[in-house]
Amino acid sequence: MNYLEKFRVEPGSKVKLRKFDPSFKDGHKDHKSAAAEIAHYQEQLRNLQDLLYAERCHSLLICLQAVDTGGKDGAINHVLGAMNPQGCRVAAFKQPSAEELAHDFLWRAHKAAPAQGEVVIFNRSHYEDVLVVRVHNLVPEKIWSRCYDRINDFEKNLVAHDTHILKFYLHISKEEQLKRFKQRLDDPVRQWKISEADYKERTFWDDYVAAYEEALSRCSTTHAPWFIIPSNHKWFRNLAIARIVVEHLKSLHMKYPKPTVNIEHIRREYHAAARD
C-alpha cells in the first residue's frame, strides 16, 4: 500500500487518535536503516518540485499541524528543505495581527496561498480557528463551530483553481512531548525555544486531542485530505511526509513545457560562436 492511502484520513470517518501509534516505523529498525530511502524520496521531491515550477499548471499547499514540539519546523528543515527555495516558501500562522483580526479568519490564509508553479508550506494554518480558538474559548462555540464548513469551502475553491492540498497532522505522544521539552531544557542551542506557555498548554492536552479529532474527521476530504503521521521518531516523520508528497506529485503526470525559442537556430549560433 502506498503512503497516500496508508496514512490518509478517509472522508467521513470518525478519528480517534488513541488508535494511531505515534511510534510506528513501518518495519524500519532505526534512522540508519531508513537513511537511503529518505535520501531517495528527497531527491525525487527536488526533481518533481522543479517540474511543478517549470510546468506552472498546478500549485501545492502543504499544511503542517501539531501540538508543541510535534516537529513542524523539523519537517520543513529536513524534508521540504530539499526543494528549491525559488519555487517554495513558508507561511507561519502565529497570533493574528490587528490587520488580520479586522478581516475574516480565512483572509490571511487566502493571501498566503500558492501561485501556479509554487509550493507553499503553512506552518500552522487556517485550522487554528478550530484548535486554539476552540480550546481557549476565544470565541463562542456557535462561531467556531461554523468554521469547519467554511474551511472545506475555502479548500474546495483553491482546488478548483488547480491548487493541490496535502494536510499533515504530526502525531506524537504526551510522553514524547515531555521528553522533547527536557531536551530543550538541557541543550543550550535549543533553550531559546522554551516558553512557560508550553507547559501551560500541556494542561489542555485532552482538549487539543478532542479538537484535532473533530477537525481531522470533519475536514478530511477527497480534494484536501488529512494524513496522520506517526512522529515520535523524527526520521520516520520525514520519510512519511516526503514519500506522500512524492506519490501525489507523481500522480499529476507533469511534463516540462516545450521551448519557446527555435532550438536549432540557437544551436547554430552556438556552434558559430564556438568556431570564432
Q: Is the pLDDT of residue 193 over 90?
A: no
Residues 46, 80: Cα–Cα separation, whole Å: 9
Our count of domains for the chain comes to: 1
Residues 238, 232: Cα–Cα separation, whole Å: 11
Helix (H) or strand (E) holding 122: strand 119-123
Grid cell digits, residue 268: 547554430
101, 69 contact by CB (below 8 A): no
| β-bridge mates for residue 226, sequence order | 167
20, 171 contact by CB (below 8 A): yes
pLDDT band, very low/low/confident/very high, at 273 (cuts 50, 70, 90): confident
Non-local CB neighbours of 238 within 8 Å, separated by 6+ positions: 38, 74, 75, 78, 79
**Torsional sign, CA 15, 109, 247, 69:** negative
Average pLDDT over residues 15-31: 96
pLDDT band, very low/low/confident/very high, at 270 (cuts 50, 70, 90): low
* Range of lowest pLDDT (58-72, 167-181, 211-225, 262-276): 262-276
pLDDT band, very low/low/confident/very high, at 1 (cuts 50, 70, 90): confident
What is the pairing mode between strands 226-230 and 88-92? unpaired
pLDDT tens per residue across span 145-162 = 999 999 999 999 999 999
Q: How many CB atoms lie within 10 A of CB 163?
A: 21
pLDDT tens per residue across span 30-84 = 999 999 999 999 999 999 999 999 999 999 999 999 999 999 999 999 888 889 9
Q: Is the pLDDT of residue 274 over 80?
A: no
With a pLDDT cut of 70, the percent of the chain lying above it is 99
Residues 213, 175: Cα–Cα separation, whole Å: 19
Whole-structure pTM value: 0.94
Q: Which domain range does residue 140 map to?
A: 3-275
Residues 67, 198: Cα–Cα separation, whole Å: 10
**End-to-end CA separation in angstroms for the chain:** 58
Note the Cα 147 to chain centre separation in Å: 20
Q: Collapse the DSSP code of 84 into the 3-class scheme (helix H, G, I; strand E, B; otherwise coil) and give the result.
A: coil
Average pLDDT over residues 217-237: 98
Average pLDDT over residues 115-129: 96
Predicted local confidence at residue 197, as pLDDT:
76
Q: What is the CATH number of the domain that holds 105?
A: 3.40.50.300
Q: How many CB atoms lie within 10 A of CB 267?
A: 10
Non-local CB neighbours of 116 within 8 Å, separated by 6+ positions: 56, 57, 58, 59, 162
Q: How many CB atoms lie within 10 A of CB 195?
A: 11
Residues 81, 46: Cα–Cα separation, whole Å: 9
In this structure, what are the phi and psi dihedrals at residue 199, rounded to the nearest 5 degrees?
A: -75, -35
Q: Is the pLDDT of residue 118 over 80?
A: yes
Q: Collapse the DSSP code of 102 into the 3-class scheme (helix H, G, I; strand E, B; otherwise coil) and give the result.
A: coil
Average pLDDT over residues 14-30: 96
Non-local CB neighbours of 232 within 8 Å, separated by 6+ positions: 22, 23, 172, 173, 176
